[in-house]
Amino acid sequence: MKKKIAESRTVELIFMMLLYIVCTGYASAQTRNDTIRQMSDSTVHLKEVQVSASRPLIKAELDKITYHVADDPDSRSMTLLEMLRKVPMVTVEGNVVVKVKGIQTLRYR
């Protein structure tokens, strides 16, 4: 009986030591070095600032889709029918029929 108690205390002691080692390692792994740096005061004078922006070629809204043909670089080298083939929900059959959402809207002659 004394042997079983001694074995259980030994197992308990080993378990507690392992738990301590694991917790200590975990706690040290969680500490981080200070990453805040002090910024020095300085002023930079710029000669010129240029701001540029671009809007998307295709803009989807609740009730419509807008395709900005003038902003598309391909508009200078492609025909109107070729440009329409790039628009979502618009299909061009051959060089004659244009359909929007599957409904024929234009017949080109």
Q: Residue-wise over 43-59: b if at least 16 C-beta within 10 A, else e?
A: eeeeeeeeeeeeeebee
Helix (H) or strand (E) holding 97: strand 97-100
DSSP characters over 23-86: HHHHHHHH-------PPPP-----S---------SEEE-SS-EEE-GGG-GGGGTS-HHHHHTT
Per residue in 49-96, pLDDT (tens digit) is: 999 888 888 888 888 888 888 888 888 888 888 888 888 888 888 777
Give this prediction's pTM: 0.41
